[in-house]
Amino acid sequence: MKPAIQANSSSNALFEPFTLGDLVLPNRVVMAPLTRNRATHGTDAPNDLNALYYAQRAGAGLIISEATQISKQGQGYIWTPGLYTGAQVQHWKTVTDQVHAAHGRIFVQLWHVGRISHTSLQADGAAPVAPSAIQAKTKTFTESGFVDVSMPRALEAEQISSILADYAQAATNAKAAGFDGIEIHAANGYLIDQFLKDGTNHRTDRYGGSVENRARFGLEVADAITHVFPKARVGIRLSPVSPSNDAVTSDPDKVFGYFVAELSRRGLAYIHVVEGATGGARDIAPFNYRALRKGFAGAYIANNGYTREMAMDAIADGAADLIAFGKAFLSNPDLVERLKRDAPLNAPISETFYGGGAEGYTDYPALQTSLS
């Protein structure tokens, strides 16, 4: 595994191989997780269209799947895939088989949304769960369209163990589905992030108050998953200062510095860091990303608004080991080749981001088609 900070003098290093844990990636371009709301209606299982979509993008050094709920309780949006039923595992296996046939590598991003949900998405119309009973000032996507999220209920301490068991089972299911690894979703105001941040966590028990207590749940999730899946194949996504889904904290450097140091001690393969506001400005709040990178022994994946030039510079000067691209991968299945050639990129069609079929999903042209 590479040292925490290592400059690479080659301007082409973005396109050179990189060893992530025990997995050799052919390049340092990562496909970021992208929610597309195209799972099969009624089962929340992937389908053949999803398999084609991921296989088209197998040129990425690493694909991180769309966020995938570990349980029905963990679901926050309509038509997002799960990994907790036999049918879901079986259909994810079709996806991973096709990615591997195209010589790609794919990690699944495991997800529990916590309070970012709606009663219509929960079993028996139950309230979503959260560290504290604080309703988020945000919306979610349901069969009725975008609606305000529901008021959550605070988890009892003894109920947390069942969620940890769901994470462990999802890790077991990820093995059965043929994934190369797991990314823990601890960003963007979802459940783990809700525990980490003091704006969303007002607990007074062992899961609230101090930095160590607020980090406890996320570390227990990491432990549950690495007891099942090799730690060299497990990473985690973080968003220290992003206000996404109304989750903020007064002490980002302190809480994420501690959290990342503990993750490093556990030997995780990488941290995947949203620098700034998710999908927005990079400079919304001061934060020492260099210190975060230095405090982690594994790889650092940088994310948020990177251009080709920014990505190449970040790799060359040692600011990051890998760079994750989101919207660019959405509309450019052959993004790595386009970046190598400095070729034009297809523009994404925002109207087809969420829900629908092949249009705006698997019909973006590849480079040769575009230039012919």
Between CA 112 and CA 124 the distance in angstroms is 18
Between CA 136 and CA 113 the distance in angstroms is 12
- Long-range contacts from 140-145, C-beta under 8 angstroms, 24+ separation: 140/76, 140/77, 140/116, 141/37, 141/77, 141/78, 141/354, 141/355, 142/77, 142/78, 142/118, 143/78, 144/120
Between CA 166 and CA 69 the distance in angstroms is 10
145-148 and 153-154 as β-strands: parallel, antiparallel, unpaired? Answer: unpaired
Between CA 137 and CA 64 the distance in angstroms is 28
Residue in the block written with tokens 């999903």: 361
SS3 of residue 107 by DSSP = strand
Residue in the block written with tokens 């994310």: 303
Q: Which one of the listed residues 53, 84, 190, 270 is annotated catalytic?
A: 190
Structural contact between residues 186 and 244, judged by C-beta atoms closer than 8 angstroms = no
Pick the closest to residue 332 from 369, 279, 300, 281 (CA basis). 369
AA letter at 253 = D
Catalytic annotation present for 190: yes
Q: Give the ranges where the chain is alpha helix by DSSP (H).
A: 48-56, 86-101, 160-176, 191-196, 211-226, 252-265, 289-294, 308-316, 327-331, 335-341, 367-371
Catalytic center residues? 190
